[in-house]
Structure 1
């Protein structure tokens, strides 16, 4: 495959560049520390999360439905305290992936975009806190397009927004089902395992990036 075949590279964020934003383990750590009934939270989570991660409600609404609801005890922490604890769970996962990103940015051949499942507020926090914005040309997020991977709608939105055919797009994602969904629409996909593996598979597609 020639280097001109790939025009747009879509990056997942959680599991590739950063830790996940608010996964099951993070929820358990934060909510247990704050004294929240996990069973009650879990029973309410999915219904509220459907709207939150699709950008159809905000963070305060999500936590009002799952933590600060009418039947909950009077907690000694606020929404702001909970949000700060949530944000503190976020960290860089692979610095080398940032090196790969910087290399691709410096080459200037490819459009670089995110393609991730995240609420609007948490996505904005992560883009700013970890200085991700300068690496990317644009951002495709479930909170913006109102659909989540692996639903084909979010991939079709990414293809349409790119302005190029599906077979010129490459998706980098740590989840097999998300890679399979991208491939089903004709996109190239790399299932991320490590920075070295990613660099090798990029090279096989004619995309040569270096990392420290």
Structure 2
């Protein structure tokens, strides 16, 4: 029986347009990213460099960019947060049947945008028993260490834990540790349908 639910953030609660950043950068004739630059992205997600350092990496690598243009392109991936998902989460919190945890690969620039543009962000955050952002814990999905960290932090067992994420690489890694998973398809499914789609787990 599930006692703990771990939620991803993007494309679970907050709608994303994942190709948007690449699409915006292409407008500035930027389409090829070296492995070194992709590694910088991962380091930034893990909080191993500041936002200022990260922006400077891009602006120095691509002189046609400035801080404002890059930040706008970087945030283009972020869309809206439908209110019905907040209401679903609040109901779960009120019922008190499950430990609720957020686990997100994100970064400070994105979270700053969310805080400015999602008026109920604090209300959302307060629904969780644990709120783990990759840049704050210096770990990122799909590395096994991040799941082990969350399980240990909350003293929960994998078999009694459900992890919801839209990225198959992330859910596969969690499943390998014995965690129950739902690889949600944001084009066809909504987190609010959890107890219909995954009724066999409850």
Q: Same fold by TM (over 0.5)?
A: yes
Pair 1:186-2:178 in alignment: yes
C-alpha displacement of 1:105: 1.4
Paired with 1:6 and 1:37, the residues of 2 have a C-alpha distance of 45
Three-state SS of the structure 1 residue aligned to 2:132 is strand
**Are residues 187 and 53 of structure 1, via their aligned partners in 2, closer, same or farther at CA, if it must alter by over 3 Å?**
same
Alignment pair present for 1:150 and 2:142: yes
Equivalent residue runs for 1:114-153 within 5 Å: 114-126=102-114, 129-130=117-118, 131=121, 132-153=124-145
Aligned residues: 193
Correspondent of 1:47 among 33, 36, 39: 39
- Whether the 8 Å CA contact 1:173–1:192 is kept in 2: the answer is yes
Q: How many Å separate the matches in 1 of 2:132 and 2:154?
A: 10
- Does the 8 Å CA contact 1:11/1:173 hold for their aligned counterparts? yes
Match of 1:176 in 2: 168
* 1:127 to 1:103, Cα distance in 2 relative to 1, 3 A: farther
Residue number in structure 1 paired with 2:31:
38
Name the SS of the counterpart of 1:38 in structure 2.
coil
Structure 1 residue 80: Cα displacement: 4.0
- TM-score, length of structure 2 as denominator length: 0.80
Question: What is the aligned-residue RMSD (CA, Å)?
Answer: 2.6
Q: Give 5+ residue unaligned stretches, structure 2.
A: none
Q: Is the 8 A contact 2:7 2:164 kept in 1?
A: yes
The answer to whether the 8 A contact 1:18-1:90 is kept is yes
C-alpha distance in 1 between matches for 2:108 and 2:142:
18
User: Contact between 2:21 and 2:77, CA under 8 Å: does it hold in 1?
Assistant: no
Gaps of 5+ in 1: 207-212
Alignment of 1:85-124 (within 5 A): 86-87=74-75, 89-92=77-80, 95-124=83-112
Q: Normalising by the residue count of structure 1, what TM-score does the alignment of the two structures yield?
A: 0.77
Equivalent position SS for 2:141:
coil
- Residue 205 of structure 1 deviates from its aligned partner by 2.1
For residues 38-77 of structure 1, the aligned pairs below 5 Å read: 38-39=31-32, 42-43=33-34, 45-66=37-58, 68-69=59-60, 72-73=62-63, 75=64
Structure 1 residue 10 displacement after superposition: 0.7
